[in-house]
Amino acid sequence: MSTHVPERATEIRLASRPSGWPVEENFAIAEAPVERPGPGQILVRNEIMSVDPYMRGRMNAGASYVPPFPVGETLTGAAAGEVVVSEAPGFEPGQKVVHSLGWREYAVVDAAAATAVSTTDAPLAAYLGVLGGTGFSAYVGLFEHADFRPRDTVFVSGAAGAVGSLVGQMAKLRGAPRVVGSAGSAEKVRYLVDTLGFDAAFNYRDGPVAEQLAAAAPDGIDVYFDNVGGDHLEAAIGALNVGGRIAACGAIGQYNATEPPPGPHNMFLMVTKRLRLQGFIVSDSAELRPDFVREVGAWLRDGRIRDLQTTVDGLRNAPSAFLGMLRGENIGKMLVTV
């Protein structure tokens, strides 16, 4: 199979570290030589890539669970595409793969860092969403760290986002009697209830989160899946029943703060209610991936779970897609076609 490979291709680099909210000037669009793969490597023409909240933390210089993006170098992130040249056994030109070298048109990927996928089983974009790290985050956080049980009432913040929209659906599929979500617009609230099957949802811009949560879950909640932090976490602590559990996946409400935001003022309820709060990094739970693929793959094939996507066309628009995701302009997973 012969495929033309250009001499140069487009990539997106980190031009400078942001202070507060990132801006377009923090990114640089560059043309770079397309390298040829060496032994044990493949050259992938990226077709679609993901922009995710965790990338904001990697734009800072401070230490975290993953190294920061180096200034002046090409950004990275989940991507999917087609093998065009292979120097690795088990990979052939024409195969579709997922890997972590997004933000560029072409990527030389170590074979060990690429996973072959079938577009017969699911659309390619699904391997960045419901069947990728996004879906796995929802699955691990809800079922392992929040120790979900079928009788639990569940509250999800950022519920119309990539992870949150899947958490609510998974909870209902596993038997939750009531699932409540928060989102940032009336359109998203309607989508959660009318399309995804949430039992209740509210716009956190319409009033105090604690008051709206109390109205949506008058008997309290048993599980809180936290994507936001701040006032949502405080409200959830107040609403949780005795023995409630919190899975802390993210805190997007704090990612662009220039000063440390105030923490919840009701932390003593963690003691009196015997609550449990568990932060997690999904890569720590690789042993659960076969169960995840089996169960969620079946839900997807049966049409029981929706893989929501907001797609922006063109690699050069990836910075604006990333900024839009931070502002909450997406419903479901924010993807960029390369």
What CATH code is carried by the domain that includes residue 17?
3.90.180.10
* pLDDT on residue 256: 66
At residue 287 the predicted structure's pLDDT band, cuts being 50, 70 and 90, is: very high
Same structural domain, 108 and 194: no
* Cβ count near 295 (within 10 Å): 16
Q: Is 92 in contact with 71 (CB distance < 8 Å)?
A: no
Does residue 143 carry a pLDDT above 90? yes
Q: For residues 184 and 196, what is the distance between their CA atoms, to the nearest angstrom?
A: 16
**Is 1 inside a domain boundary?**
no
Report the number of distinct structural domains present in the chain: 2
Same structural domain, 274 and 139: yes
Alpha-helical segments (H) within the chain? 54-58, 133-139, 162-173, 186-194, 209-216, 230-239, 269-272, 289-301, 318-326
Same structural domain, 139 and 216: yes
At residue 96 the predicted structure's pLDDT band, cuts being 50, 70 and 90, is: very high
* pLDDT on residue 329: 93
**Is 301 inside a domain boundary?**
no
pLDDT in tens, 109-137: 999 999 999 999 899 999 999 999 999 99
Contacts of 12 (CB under 8 A, 6+ apart): 27, 28, 29, 30, 74, 75, 103, 104, 315, 316, 318, 319
Q: For residues 119 and 124, what is the distance between their CA atoms, to the nearest angstrom?
A: 6
Q: For residues 222 and 180, what is the distance between their CA atoms, to the nearest angstrom?
A: 11
Does residue 1 carry a pLDDT above 70? no
**Is 297 inside a domain boundary?**
no
Q: Is 8 in contact with 33 (CB distance < 8 Å)?
A: yes
Does residue 220 carry a pLDDT above 50? yes
At residue 62 the predicted structure's pLDDT band, cuts being 50, 70 and 90, is: confident
Same structural domain, 161 and 231: yes
Name the residue with higher pLDDT: 58 or 4. Answer: 58
Same structural domain, 64 and 20: yes
* pLDDT on residue 253: 65
Task: Tell me the backbone φ, ψ of residue 36, rounded to 5 degrees.
Answer: -100, 145
* pLDDT on residue 81: 98
Q: For residues 80 and 117, what is the distance between their CA atoms, to the nearest angstrom?
A: 9
* pLDDT on residue 211: 98
**Is 14 inside a domain boundary?**
yes
What is the rounded average pLDDT for all residues in the chain? 95
What pTM value is reported for the model?
A: 0.93
Does residue 98 carry a pLDDT above 70? yes
Q: For residues 129 and 166, what is the distance between their CA atoms, to the nearest angstrom?
A: 9
* pLDDT on residue 51: 97
pLDDT in tens, 299-334: 999 999 999 899 999 999 999 999 999 999 999 999
Same structural domain, 151 and 233: yes
**Is 288 inside a domain boundary?**
no
82's tokens: 């087609």
pLDDT in tens, 157-202: 999 999 999 999 999 999 999 999 999 999 999 999 999 999 999 9
Minimal CA–CA distance to 287: which of 135, 136, 177?
A: 136
CATH code of the domain covering residue 260: 3.40.50.720
**Is 243 inside a domain boundary?**
yes
Task: Tell me the backbone φ, ψ of residue 65, rounded to 5 degrees.
Answer: -75, -15
Does residue 11 carry a pLDDT above 60? yes
At residue 63 the predicted structure's pLDDT band, cuts being 50, 70 and 90, is: confident
**94-108, 194-208, 241-255, 320-334, range with the lowest pLDDT:** 241-255
Same structural domain, 183 and 250: yes
Same structural domain, 155 and 279: yes
List residues bridging with 335 in a β-sheet.
Answer: 50, 311
Q: For residues 293 and 115, what is the distance between their CA atoms, to the nearest angstrom?
A: 14
Enclosing domain of residue 185: 133-283
Does residue 14 carry a pLDDT above 80? yes
Q: Is 207 in contact with 187 (CB distance < 8 Å)?
A: no
